Structure 1
Amino acid sequence: MSAQPLRAPPRDEVSAYYDAKTERLLHRYGPGPRVHYHTGMVEEIPPPGLTVEALRVRIHEAQERLLKEMALAVGGWQVGREVLDVGCGLGGGSLYWAAEHKARVTAITIAPAHLPWVRRFAEQAGVAHQVTALLCDALEVPGRECFDLVVAVESSCYLPRREWFRKLRTLLRPGGRVLLTDCFLGRPAMAAPFDRYWRTRIGAVDEYFRAASEEGLRLELHQDLTWRAVNFWTLTLDLLAREREAKLRQGGLGLVGRSQSEREHLRLQQGFLDGGLHHGWMVLRRPR
């Protein structure tokens, strides 16, 4: 009997998951206006004993570094490009493309709690006229041939690959590109715990390549960034530990051991170290 393909959780479940995390994300990765919730690039092992504020600064710098290098991967930026930011979260990436590259950005999310924050932060950053935030499923984005670039930072793992890439081909203008960054599966045993905690359906790089090719998208670039992602999770683990220590000092009960979040961050980091998981990006192009 052949194995049944894993299914991503229902849209409502993912939406509720991220809605519930909004305040924690603001507390941990804020104050904004560019608030990110994704892996960053860290070159060296962070020194021990960093303060909470120092950890937050390094985490933010690492996340911004990822976006800067993603921009270099597609190159040739022109003022006024139309960009779709898929799974925009609290809007950090959308604000980056608008502010640093003068793009007009459509920022989509399925978490209603994120929308007012994206709009508020866009106002604070002075790019409200360039950023349109929408509550929208990625498979239901309206329009045809209306984007020069689609950016998906750790969001494609929530979507059925063939259907997603088919939709991308219709949204991109001829010659337009997809800039996709995500976690990818290295060993099948890692799929179930990863999917269970992150509410997703992780896939191997080859699955993405195959689905893209079948839907007429050409691979231009693939780069494995795993070794640069490992130490990002060292930073987040240190920050989570500091948060737990602060709660203990405030008299919190039942907080002696690692939290579930800490355990899952550690599992993710270990997966990067032993080949169970990979992190990287790929650039796909719609032919002219």
Structure 2
Amino acid sequence: MSAEALRQERAGTEVTAYYEAKTEGILQRYGPGPRVHYHIGLVDDTPPPGLPPAALRTLIHESQELTMRELALDAGMPRRDSHVLDVGCGLGGSSLYWASVHRARVTALTNVPSHVSWVNQFAAVEGVADRVNTVLCDALELPGRECFDLVVAVESSCYLPRRAWFRRVYSLLRPGGILAIADCFLGRPDLAGPFDQYWRAKIGTVEEYFRAAAAEGLELELHQDISGRAVNFWTLTLDLLARERAMLPRSSLEGLGRSESQRQHLRLQQAFLDGGLHYAMMILRRPD
């Protein structure tokens, strides 16, 4: 095994362990499901202060569903029975969205073993178990050729080596097929280290994605910076974190400042405001 392959294997193992450890917290904060999302949402209006936790969770879920609707619109609203690959499906929120709203046949791809049963369970509750096939596999190793109409990556492309992954996506897409990405992109070099360390990712610039896509034969159709619509998502999550913290016993908070999660949310919100990070949707096509 080459040094680069070994490095990628270790990185994948670290990411898997990271999300295994976060599963229960994701379910508590973004559940109960069945469409559980763990990604940035779009919030067009400033949320009112003082909302109770239940209302905040509802707004967060609605904002995440809006991200999916916007991505579907940009991707051209896949026709019924299109075959969609959801890369890094998490607990299945996006996979269930494509299967239930657009009646697509979905391959839900994850590298987190415990998530397989959760996706299958939620698909059954949603009534789309016959349309969702959950696969435990590395994104670079999924078998097949020219079998997908749409490949979707919601905040998973930042974990993947772009050139190698775009090469694999090209072979998986049917001619004319679409790759739809929603993710964070680097605007200022000094933020790469802290972002990658906390999220176990490998963030890239928009220009790096463009170069990698062009080198592997994918054509850019759309790049839309929606950072301004993502800023208030962090307002919602910070409010929810504060509400959850306020419900803890006072004795458990003595001597504690902000949690690491709160600090990261604040940093992300500020980075979107000052251009240090960007949140964008990118549509790439395999030529006919």
TM-score range, shorter chain: over 0.9
1:248 and 1:255 in contact (8 A); partners too: no
**Alpha-carbon deviation of 1:252?**
2.1
SS in 2 for 1:157: helix
Range with bigger deviation, 29-38 or 43-52 = 43-52
In the alignment, the residues of structure 1 paired with residue 77 and residue 135 of structure 2 have an alpha-carbon distance, to the nearest angstrom, of 27
Alignment of 1:53-132 (within 5 A): 53-132=54-133
* Residue 259 of structure 1: aligned partner: 259
Compared with structure 1, are the counterparts of its residues 69 and 255 closer, same or farther at alpha carbon in structure 2 (3 Å cutoff)? farther
Could you tell me which amino acid in structure 2 is paired with residue 185 of structure 1? L
Within-5 A mapping of 1:127-276:
127-249=128-250, 251-254=251-254, 256-276=256-276
Listed one character per residue, the Cα deviations across residues 249-273 of structure 1 (whole Å, up to 9, x for unaligned) are 5x42457411001101111111001
In structure 1, stretches of 5+ residues that fail to align are 1-5
1:279 maps to a residue whose letter is Y
* 2:4 alignment counterpart: none
Counterpart in the other structure of 2:38 = 37
* Aligned-pair CA distance for 1:109: 0.8
Q: 1:161 to 1:8 in 2, by over 3 A?
A: farther
One-letter amino acid matched to 1:268: L
Matched residue SS, 2:240? helix
Superposition deviation, residue 7 in structure 1 = 7.8
Secondary structure at 1:222 match in 2? strand
The share of aligned pairs that are identical, in percent, is: 65
Cα offset for 1:160? 0.5
Deviation per CA, 1:173-231: give whole Å up to 9, x if none. 00000000100000000100000000001000000001000100000011000000000
Q: Contact (CA 8 Å) 2:238, 2:265: kept in 1 or not?
A: yes
Cα distance, 1:77 vs. partner?
A: 2.9
- What is the aligned partner in structure 1 of residue 278 from structure 2? 278
Q: Post-superposition, which runs of at least 4 consecutive aligned residues in structure 1 deviate over 3 A?
A: 6-9, 253-256
1:51 positional shift: 0.5
Q: TM-score, normalised by structure 2?
A: 0.95
In structure 2, the CA distance between the partners of 1:67 and 1:76, relative to structure 1 (3 Å rule), is closer
* Equivalent residue, structure 2, for 1:46: 47
Kept after mapping to 1: 8 A contact 2:77/2:102: no
Any unmatched runs of 5+ in structure 2?
A: 1-6
- Distance in structure 1 (CA, Å) of the matches to 2:21 and 2:135: 19
Structure 1: how far apart are the matches of 2:207 and 2:9? 18
Which residue identity is paired with 2:213? A
Q: 1 CA distance for matches of 2:259 and 2:113? A: 27
CA contact (8 A) 1:84 1:149 kept: yes
Give the C-alpha shift of residue 107 in structure 1.
0.3
Displacement, 1:69? 1.0
Cα distance in 1 for partners of 2:8, 2:131 equals 35
After TM superposition, give the deviation of residue 79 of structure 1 in Å.
Answer: 1.2
1:135-181 per-position Cα deviation (integer Å, ceiling 9, x unaligned): 11110111000000000000000001100100110000000000001
